[in-house]
């Protein structure tokens, strides 16, 4: 099946823009044209672009639900003609449904996020990649969930570091994030107490403080615990900060572990 789609990509990509934002707009505009009737959008283009956005963990939740549910343009047309018999309401609907995806791509992904995503995508632990993907997806639409996923990302990285190749655990099942990070940092020789250089100790101490703060933020603002009558809810900017910090810390731990494995 992958070979089939790869052949389509090679055959039809000449007609498609290369920029992710432009590809999203191309998909939207094609579906706006489809509002006029069946056959108004190239089905191969639709299939390729839909597959691309469905495979992107950071964007799939922003893809319109009717696109996620429709594998080809015939299915989309069937949905649109049932949605409204008139062209213009269909067009307005399609444009509004693509707003979140287009807006997210217009704001662009920071370079640091690209580096973190590339590194975590190459990491062998599936739960790490899944936690990062969820954290990115939820930043704008579910800030509390994003905070919880940011904590889960760091916990997964620490646990992976603390497990040996035989599967033996170097931690207790009840250990919280600060404890897991302390154990992982000691194993990697990056705990503040393991160094004498003052500047380095302060940097490593600051890293530990970030982890402690993420754990506290998750306990107070995440979606893993119930809250009282006046719940404290994080804004998207708070979630973005938590996700970016967790991603940076996860990157630091993974690269440190990888460098030590290379030197062994």
> What secondary structure, in 3-state letters, does 194-247 show?
HCCCHHHHHHHHHHHHHHHHHHHHHHHHCCCCCCCCCCCCCCHHHHHHHHHHHH
Whether residue 73 is predicted with pLDDT greater than 80 in this model: the reply is: yes
What are the domain boundaries of the chain? 2-107, 111-263
What distance in Å separates the CA atoms of residue 150 and residue 223, rounded to the nearest whole number?
12
Give whole-number Cα distances, 149 to 54, 125, 128, 137, in Å. Answer: 20, 15, 10, 10
Q: Residue 8: which pLDDT band, with cuts at 50, 70 and 90?
A: very low
Which region among 65-69, 205-209, 217-221 has the lowest average model confidence (pLDDT)? 217-221
Residues constituting the chain: 264
pLDDT of residue 54: 92
Between these two residues, 170 and 129, which has the higher pLDDT value?
A: 170
What distance in Å separates the CA atoms of residue 13 and residue 103, rounded to the nearest whole number?
24
Quick one: tokens of 97? 């449904």
Question: What average pLDDT does the segment 219-248 reach?
Answer: 73
CATH class belonging to 111-263:
mainly alpha
pLDDT of residue 5: 42
Q: Residue 230: which pLDDT band, with cuts at 50, 70 and 90?
A: low
What distance in Å separates the CA atoms of residue 59 and residue 138, rounded to the nearest whole number?
10
pTM of the prediction? Answer: 0.55
């Amino acid at each position: 099946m992958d070979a089939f789609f790869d052949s389509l990509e090679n055959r039809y990509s000449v007609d498609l823009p290369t920029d992710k934002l432009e590809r999203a707009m191309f998909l939207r505009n094609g579906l706006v044209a489809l509002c006029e009737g069946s056959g108004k959008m190239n089905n191969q283009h639709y299939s390729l672009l839909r597959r691309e956005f469905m495979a992107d963990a950071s964007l799939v939740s922003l893809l319109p639900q009717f696109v996620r549910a429709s594998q080809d343009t015939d299915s989309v047309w069937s949905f649109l003609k049932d949605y409204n018999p008139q062209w213009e309401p269909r067009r307005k609907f399609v444009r509004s449904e693509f707003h979140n995806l287009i807006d997210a791509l217009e704001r662009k992904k920071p370079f640091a996020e690209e580096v973190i995503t590339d590194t975590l995508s190459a990491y062998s632990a599936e739960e790490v990649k899944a936690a990062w993907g969820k954290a990115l997806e939820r930043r704008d639409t579910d800030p509390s969930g994003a905070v919880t996923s940011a904590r889960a990302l760091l916990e997964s990285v620490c646990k992976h570091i603390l497990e040996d190749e035989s599967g033996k655990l170097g931690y207790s099942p009840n250990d919280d994030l600060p404890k897991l990070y302390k154990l992982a940092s000691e194993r990697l020789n990056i705990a503040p107490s393991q160094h004498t250089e003052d500047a380095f100790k302060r940097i490593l101490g600051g890293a530990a403080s970030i982890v402690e703060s993420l754990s506290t933020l998750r306990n107070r603002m995440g979606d893993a615990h119930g809250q009282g009558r006046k719940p404290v809810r994080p804004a998207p900017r708070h979630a973005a900060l938590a996700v970016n910090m967790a991603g940076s810390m996860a990157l630091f731990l993974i690269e440190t572990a990888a460098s030590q494995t290379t030197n062994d």
